[in-house]
Amino acid sequence: MPLPKVIDYGTPLRESADTVTLTIDGRAVRVPKGTAILAAARSHGIEIPKLCATDMVEAFGSCRLCLVEIEGRRGTPASCTTPAEDGMVVHTQTARLAALRRGVMELYISDHPLDCLTCSANGDCELQDMAGAVGLREVRYGQDGRKHRTEAKDESNPYFTFDSSKCIVCSRCVRACAEVQGTFALTITGRGLESKVSTGSFDFLSSECVSCGACVQACPTATLNEKSVIEHGTPTGATITTCAYCGVGCSFRAETQGGQLVRMVPYKRGQANEGHSCVKGRFAYGYATHPDRITRPMIRARISDPWREVSWDEAFAHAASEFRRIQAQYGREAVGGITSSRCTNEETFLVQKLVRAVFGNNNVDNCARVCHSPTGYGLKQTFGTSAGTQDFKSVAQADVILLIGANPTDAHPVFASRMKRRLREGARLIVADPRRIDLVRSPHIQAAHHLALKPGTNVALINALAHVVVSEGLVREDYVRERCDLASFEAWARFIADPRHAPEASADITGVPAGELRAAARLYATARNAAIYYGLGVTEHSQGSTMVMGMANLAMATGNVGRVGVGVNPLRGQNNVQGACDMGSFPHEFSGYRHVSDDATREVFEQLWGVALAREPGLRIPNMVDEAQSGHFKGLYIQGEDIAQSDPDTQNVIAGLSAMECVVVQDLFLNETAKYAHVFLPGASFLEKDGTFTNAERRISRVRKVIAPLAGLADWEVTLGLAAALGYPMQYAHPSEIMDEIARATPSFAGVSYARLDELGSIQWPCNAAAPTGTPIMHVERFVRGKGRFMLTGYVPTEERTGERFPLLLTTGRILSQYNVGTQTARTPNTRWHDEDLLEIHPFDAEQRGINDGDRVLLRSRAGATSLRAQISERVQPGVVYTTFHHARSGVNVVTTDYSDWATNCPEYKVTAVQVTRTAAPSDWQRENAARADFLRRIERELPEGAG
Amino acid sequence: MKPDKLARMANDIAHNLAALGDAAPAAIAEHLRHFWTPRMRKELLQLIQAGGASLEPTVVEAARAL
């Protein structure tokens, strides 16, 4: 579609129940109280010239271009810094103002190169626009300003350039970095004509800049400009779509020239991100057209054979005949499917439909199994449904934030910026994390408490916090009486009051001093609004589900569920983890979290799909791997997952895959899992298809096709092809029709349709007759299950223990520039920031082992060994080592074990007993894996270009 | 599934539901019915019939309700 003009109101639009009415240029204007005159005028179609003002940051009042005259007031105040008031009479265009503005523009232009025709911002430059708007016809001061032309253009950042000669020192970039992103990487140095933007470092790449793009977005000239725009020119079209990285689910304008994506710009009206972005969503989209993309279907009889390119029809027919052969030979239960949290709701719904309706079993799972399945279990047990309680905006009203096992500045950066803004406003922060994450202390952020617990002791910690609440009389008894199941509360209160849960008793277990923990508990319990945010540091433990229930208990006991500013909020790892779970991609549940044994639910789907459905739960992903090795599970359809890299105990996963007779991988790339596959079906990136994603706040947003699928088919069409080959044609002309089926079958989605999404922008489920525009905050008057249920949460130590052979505990996490197993980001210039996984080790542990910073070390557990370079760091405590899992060559999951959460089998990634020693060589596994990688990925090309 | 893995999974459930006291076996049985495949439940019963020495008593009791 054509590039629509984005309205910039100049200053932020305010929300207030109180309004003021004024007159601007003879027109009556009514706006919320607190709105600046500049925004009041623009929101009624009156444009006042401006340069230093933009609605993404607060007013600054430096450029003197937005001057106005106000009847009864002296002078010409700046409209950006003057609030609209009742009865004001404002004039924005007078001869006096015009002369002043021209004078201001003359000064700006005297210090700005006049190379507009060859400038990369030509046609997209506010300075150029303002020169036209004020009628600039001459520059009386000449062209001899300082201009900074001798200074080298900073091209160090892989995605944008900084050209000091184009800078008008409006400070928009500096303010965006501070106010929007909260990093404070930029400042203005010098005075007068010597003033310039500075990173405080040698260049952008070596500075504190996190490349979120806010400064580029804010820049009114070509000073900060995307390299892709410099290369291609300004975009001519735009499509609103949703990012395919983390669970924040940012909306973007995908701006194009013809069929080429030129840049991704965060969408100001996107309700999840409100115009902000991170380095991944904003810039790291190049993987979509990376040469590694496989765009032709391939098959092979054995994994030792080379791949053979075939037509789509031959691939579908081969996969279907193999699945049918396996079921005939080994039984109906011998095959299954894995859906992807990176694919759309519609695509995951189709794969689970294929498994249930065509395979005839419930062997379908998704990668939430290895991240947030304990969230599903824990929140359903306590609140009644598997969902975060709040929208992201809610954090702006939290007074105390309890952040447990999450590192939002790296893993959910756009939400982290919201959180940091609230912390700068004065909210208090409690961080519970074994590692000193950035939010413990960073510019303008200081956690009130850092509970640096030992890995694996979460439940002991949450029980101790709850013990303080109960034993010190901090329970919100009125809330509990009205909203919760009293019998369960009384049983829980007796349980938690036991002295074994006291902070003093658990300090030896958790390593957290009792006094610090008591103070944190009091802070949380006595806040007007206290909110819990958590991540995989909660769920990926042997007691992940117990911990989720423990947090829910704490929130209910203190009355912190069911209104703005509070709640229990999972920060979901992948873009569509929430959606994949909602869509019934679990072996025990249909869409909407209804158990497969529920006759009424099964009947709904049996009528829709025209087949009888199984009533017994199917296999989870780890069970599939185990059952394959036992000879009972032989065929697997994997859409958009790479379990050979992302799942724990790699050698166990590979043994399972190797024991299967037909593994079908549908993916963008020939990933690690594809090395053990027999059919490869090319996938489509999020840019190549229509659908929806559901983010961590239950927000359903449209994914819209920006470019044509490289392989010819979108992922949902591939599943249709496979289903048809299996003898079960599914009739959908467009993903909107799949959503219509989801809505018909799922009460919490009953009001969702593409038309409604287009109308509202996005929808937070439940969306039905009771909530026609969706539900930003859950459990407001009652919990989904009726009364909130307290659960007993006994602490059970993990069986993964340190000892003489493995004396250190390994925990894992993410880094800002990379995403999961690197499938996407490792194929982008984001590797400039992180091109290998490093092992963080405390100086004490390093010294004991003779390890220096940068040394290659062998990381060994009872599951396996890998090698990587060491980074000596006091972020980790003695006895704990930490690494990321973004690069296939490090193979960190060779080391993690098959221990898992008791309720859901979510792997215990966060606790592995290891030993670290210096080494000079890769591990045996790394050597063998590298040696067989090329062999297992051979492609025998037979088809001519363009076929297939 | 390998018997030791099956036993470990069952025992993990038992350990985490132990706080329920007398109600634990029923809760374990419900959990197994809710999340385990019929084959896994059958293999658990076979493990018990074969002696099941490594299993928690509450798992054995729960299995009677399967």
CATH number of the domain encompassing residue A715 = 3.40.50.740
Angle at A676 between CA A675 and CA A680, to 5 degrees: 75
Residues A445 and A416 in one domain: yes
Residues A402 and A343 in one domain: no
> Contact, A577 vs A823, CB < 8 A?
no
Q: A903 — contact with chain B (CB < 8 Å)?
A: yes
* Segment A271-297 mean pLDDT: 97
Q: pLDDT at position A851, please? A: 98
Final residue belonging to a domain, choices A570, A594, A625: A570
* A627: chain B residues, CB-CB within 8 Å: 1, 39
What percent of chain A lies above the pLDDT cut of 90? Answer: 92
Q: Picking from A269-273, A583-587, A685-689, A889-893, which range would have the lowest pLDDT averaged per residue?
A: A889-893
Give me the residues of A, 492-511, that contact B with CB < 8 A: 495
Residue A29 located in a structural domain: no
User: Shortest Cα distance from B40 to chain A (angstroms)?
Assistant: 9
* Segment A542-562 mean pLDDT: 98
Residues A367 and A385 in one domain: no
Residue A122 located in a structural domain: no
A730 φ, ψ (degrees, to nearest 5): -110, 130
| Number of Cβ within a 10 Å radius of residue A250 | 29
Rounded to whole angstroms, the Cα distance separating A271 from A254 reads 16
Rounded to whole angstroms, the Cα distance separating A681 from A313 reads 11
Q: pLDDT at position A940, please? A: 83
| Number of Cβ within a 10 Å radius of residue B27 | 18
Rounded to whole angstroms, the Cα distance separating A695 from A161 reads 32
pLDDT > 60? residue A947:
no
Residues A334 and A397 in one domain: no
What is the number of domains present in chain A?
Answer: 3
Rounded to whole angstroms, the Cα distance separating A52 from A886 reads 40
pLDDT > 80? residue A449:
yes
User: Shortest Cα distance from B10 to chain A (angstroms)?
Assistant: 8
Q: pLDDT at position A592, please? A: 96
Query: Which among B1, B13, B38 has the least Cβ separation from residue A616?
Result: B38
Final residue belonging to a domain, choices A739, A764, A789: A764
Rounded to whole angstroms, the Cα distance separating B14 from A945 reads 59
* Segment A92-114 mean pLDDT: 94
Confidence of residue A948 (pLDDT cuts 50, 70, 90): very low
* Segment B48-55 mean pLDDT: 88
Residues A359 and A394 in one domain: no
CATH of the domain at A883: 2.40.40.20
Q: B37 — contact with chain A (CB < 8 Å)?
A: yes
> Contact, B44 vs B8, CB < 8 A?
no
| Number of Cβ within a 10 Å radius of residue A869 | 14
> Contact, A764 vs A698, CB < 8 A?
yes
Q: pLDDT at position B38, please? A: 97
Q: Exposed/middle/buried for A882, CB within 10 Å: 0-12, 13-18, 19+?
A: buried
Instruction: Give CA A212 to chain center in angstroms.
Output: 14
* C-alpha to C-alpha distances, A787 to A472, A486, A767, A779, A793, nearest whole angstrom: 24, 9, 21, 10, 19
Query: Which among B2, B18, B31 has the least Cβ separation from residue A630?
Result: B2
Tokens of A364: 């379908």
Q: Over the stretch A179-234, which tens digit does the pLDDT of each residue have?
A: 999 999 999 999 888 889 999 899 999 999 999 999 999 999 999 999 999 999 99
Residues A339 and A395 in one domain: no
* Segment B24-50 mean pLDDT: 97
Q: Do A617 and B5 touch (CB under 8 A)?
A: no
Q: Do B19 and A546 touch (CB under 8 A)?
A: no
In this prediction the ipTM stands at 0.98
Structural domain containing residue A492: 373-570
Residues A613 and A629 in one domain: yes
The count of residues in chain A is 948
Q: Picking from A4-13, A391-400, A935-944, which range would have the lowest pLDDT averaged per residue?
A: A935-944
Of all residues in chain A, the one with the smallest CA distance to B9 is: A902
Residues A522 and A634 in one domain: no
pLDDT > 70? residue A534:
yes
Tokens 């106010």 belong to: A179
Amino acid code (one letter) for A278: C
Beta strands in A374-423 (DSSP E): 400-404
Q: Over the stretch A572-621, which tens digit does the pLDDT of each residue have?
A: 888 999 999 999 999 999 999 999 999 999 999 999 999 999 999 999 99
Residues A387 and A519 in one domain: yes
Residue A107 located in a structural domain: no
The count of residues in chain B is 66
H helices present in A472-529, as ranges:
477-483, 486-497, 503-510, 514-526
Q: What is the mean pLDDT of chain A?
A: 95
Q: Choose, out of B2, B5, B39, the residue to mutate when testing the contact with A (most A CBs < 10 Å).
A: B39
* Segment A115-141 mean pLDDT: 93
Side by side, which strands form the sheet with A762-764?
A691-694, A699-703, A762-764
pLDDT > 60? residue A338:
yes
Rounded to whole angstroms, the Cα distance separating A744 from A530 reads 37
CATH of the domain at A456: 3.40.228.10
* Segment A517-523 mean pLDDT: 98
Task: Annotate A79-142 with DSSP letters as a single string.
Answer: TTTSB--TT-EEES--HHHHHHHHHHHHHHHHTS---GGG-TTTTS-HHHHHHHHTT----TTT
Rounded to whole angstroms, the Cα distance separating A315 from A299 reads 6
Handedness of CA A552, A556, A557, A563 (dihedral sign): positive
Residue A174 located in a structural domain: no
Rounded to whole angstroms, the Cα distance separating A504 from A404 reads 20
Rounded to whole angstroms, the Cα distance separating A247 from A581 reads 13
Residues A421 and A433 in one domain: yes
pLDDT > 90? residue A861:
yes
Q: A796 — contact with chain B (CB < 8 Å)?
A: yes
Residues A753 and A604 in one domain: yes
Give, as one character, the DSSP assignment of residue B21: G
Residue A257 located in a structural domain: no
> Contact, A678 vs A708, CB < 8 A?
no
What residues contact A790, with CB distance under 8 A and at least 6 apart?
A382, A484, A485, A488, A489, A491, A492, A493, A553, A556, A557
Rounded to whole angstroms, the Cα distance separating A708 from A731 reads 21
> Is A160 in a helix, a strand, or coil?
strand
Residue A495 located in a structural domain: yes
Q: Choose, out of B12, B58, B66, the residue to mutate when testing the contact with A (most A CBs < 10 Å).
A: B12
Instruction: Give CA A264 to chain center in angstroms.
Output: 16
Confidence of residue A932 (pLDDT cuts 50, 70, 90): confident
* B21: chain A residues, CB-CB within 8 Å: none
Residue A6 located in a structural domain: no
Rounded to whole angstroms, the Cα distance separating A670 from A939 reads 10
Q: Do B2 and A617 touch (CB under 8 A)?
A: no
Residues A513 and A647 in one domain: no
* Segment A731-758 mean pLDDT: 98
* Segment A912-923 mean pLDDT: 96
Q: Do B37 and A792 touch (CB under 8 A)?
A: no
Q: Over the stretch A763-782, which tens digit does the pLDDT of each residue have?
A: 999 999 999 999 999 999 99
Q: pLDDT at position A944, please? A: 54
Final residue belonging to a domain, choices A710, A737, A764: A764
Tokens of A680: 């490869």
* Segment A281-292 mean pLDDT: 96
Rounded to whole angstroms, the Cα distance separating A812 from A914 reads 12
Q: pLDDT at position A943, please? A: 54
Residue A383 located in a structural domain: yes
User: Shortest Cα distance from A792 to chain B (angstroms)?
Assistant: 6
User: Shortest Cα distance from B35 to chain A (angstroms)?
Assistant: 6
* C-alpha to C-alpha distances, A748 to A353, A593, A629, A752, A773, nearest whole angstrom: 18, 10, 38, 9, 12
Please confirm whether the linkage preceding A766 is cis (ω < 30° from 0).
yes
